[in-house]
Amino acid sequence: MSSESNVKLTIALSNPDLDADEQERETRNLLREIKDLDIESAELVAVREIPEGSKALGGFLLGVLQAEVSIANFKKLLGFLGDRLGNKTIELEVEANGKKLKVKASSQEELTVALEAAQKFITAG
């Protein structure tokens, strides 16, 4: 599954206004939409990989999903995330070529800057 030519993203949604069930529903909806794009894989993150300060629900981390996408389709996924998550608080971790970039955004402007940083990170390789 993992390949040097693919980019792995971990997307953590954070919305204090939602309860655990609503947060899970929102995450699963986003996962379903991402799976409709041309990606290698997308899944919820199992509890065994718990980032510090995260909450788990039903064996999966609450509000966290991972996707793997080819470099060719990475920009399309970033565009989708920008459109879909513009005014939500998210943490995005991008892993490619053995390096990681972690960015946070809580507004459309911050997300635009974060996605541009992720794009530059990947193209700098």
Give the chain's end-to-end CA distance (angstroms, integer). Answer: 20
For 78-94, what is the mean pLDDT?
A: 88
Structural domains present in the chain: 6-124 (3.30.70)
Q: Which two tokens stand for residue 44?
A: 């919820």
Residues 87, 96, 51, 58, CA torsion sign: positive
| Residue 46 CB contacts under 8 Å (≥ 6 apart), including other chains | 59, 60, 61
45 pLDDT exceeds 90? no
Q: Which two tokens stand for residue 34?
A: 């991402």
Mean pLDDT of the chain: 85
pLDDT in tens, 89-120: 899 999 988 889 999 998 889 988 988 998 89
Q: What is the pTM of this model?
A: 0.82
